[in-house]
Amino acid sequence: MPWTNEENLNFIKSYKPQNNDVENLRILLHGPVGAGKSSFINSVESVLLGRVTGRVMTDTISANSFTKKYKAFKIHKDPKSFYPFIFNDTMGFEQRNGMNVEDIKLALMGHVTEGYKPIPGVQLKESDQEYNSCPSLDDKVHALVCVMPADLVSLISDEVVKKMRDVRLAASDMGIPQLAILTKVDEACPEVKNNIKNVYESIYLKEQVDKFSLILGIPQNCIFLVKNYESELQTNEDINGPILIALRQMIVYGEDFINNL
C-alpha cells in the first residue's frame, strides 16, 4: 500500500477544504442496485469511529433499490463536530427503473435537495419543492464515485452501463473528477476471502479493474478495491486499509477540483 493506515487516517483527520466557499467536500455515490453504496458509507464511518456502525440502512435480499431518497451523510469527528466531507447516497440504477440519470446530473450541479424522493421515469423540475434553483459551490458535487460489485463487472447490463456512462460524461463536462470502487472483493475472489491482505495481489481482481476501466473509461489508478463491513462485529486494520486509501483519494481529487475552480 502507498501509505500506512495511520498516515491515511492522519491525513483524513487533518483535512479541511482550502476554498473558503466550501464548508464540506461533497462526494456523490452512484451505481447499480445492490452495489454497496450505502454499505461503503457505513464502512467509512466504521473505520473513522473505530467500531462497526449501521446508520445508513441497507438490504441484502431486495432486487430493487433499498435507498429511496437522495440523502446526505456526515460523520462525527467528535461529539461537537463533523468531518468536513459529505457523502450523498442515491437510488441504484436498474435496467428499466431505478435512479433517473437526469436527476443525477442535476444533483452534480447542486440542484437536488436532501430528502428528494426520485420517481422512476420522472425528472425533477424547476417548479418542484426539492429543486434548488440557486446552488452554492458547497451544494455542488466535488467528486463522483461509481460503486460496482467486483463479482458482477462482467455481468452488468448494457442499459445500466449506458446510465453510468451518461453520468460520467456529464461530470466530465463539468470538470468533476470521477473515481470508482469495486466492492465485495471477498465474494469475487476466494484467496481474498481467505485473507483480505491479498486484495491487491489477486490476478482475478486486477482483471476486473481492467475490465471496468474499459467499460466506463475510468483510469485504472482511479479504481479502488474494497471490502465493506457487513458480517464483522469489530473493525480490523486489514479491512480498514483499502477503505482509507479510497477515501483519501476521493478527498484529494475533490480538493483539487474545488481549488481549480
Supply 216's cell numbers.
466506463
Within-domain flag for 114? yes
DSSP H helices in the chain: 5-14, 37-49, 101-108, 158-174, 185-188, 190-194, 203-216, 237-259
CB of 259 within 8 A of CB of 19? yes
Read off the DSSP letter of residue 201. T
Q: For 146-198, what is each residue's pLDDT tens digit?
A: 999 999 999 999 999 999 999 999 999 999 999 999 999 999 999 999 999 99
- At 72, give phi and psi (nearest 5°): -115, 135
Residue 9 lies in a domain: no
What is the total count of domains within the chain? Answer: 1
Give residue-wise pLDDT tens across range 90-149.
Answer: 888 887 777 789 999 999 999 999 989 888 778 999 999 999 999 999 999 999 999 999
Question: Which neighbouring-strand residues pair with 98?
Answer: 93
Quote the cell numbers at residue 145: 464515485
DSSP string, 32-51: BTTSSHHHHHHHHHHHHHTS
CA 186 to chain centre: 19
CB atoms within 10 A of CB 171: 21
169: in domain:
yes
Could you tell me if 209 and 225 are in contact, meaning their C-beta atoms sit under 8 angstroms apart? yes
The verdict on residue 226 lying in a domain is yes
pLDDT of residue 58: 54
CATH number at residue 85: 3.40.50.300
The DSSP line for 88-141 is EE-PPB-SSSBS-HHHHHHHHTT-BPTT---BTTB---TTSTTB-SS--TTTS-
231 located within any domain: yes
Tell me: the pLDDT tens digits for 45-103? Answer: 999 999 999 877 555 544 444 556 889 999 999 999 999 999 999 888 887 777 789 99
Range of the domain at 233: 23-54+67-259
Least Cα distance to 209 among 151, 157, 159 occurs for: 151
Contact 99, 69 (CB under 8 A): no
Inside any domain, residue 192:
yes
Please check whether residue 167 lies inside any domain of the structure.
yes
Judge whether 11 lies within some domain: no
Q: Please give the C-alpha separations between residue 42 and each of 56, 73, 153, in angstroms, as whole numbers.
A: 6, 10, 23
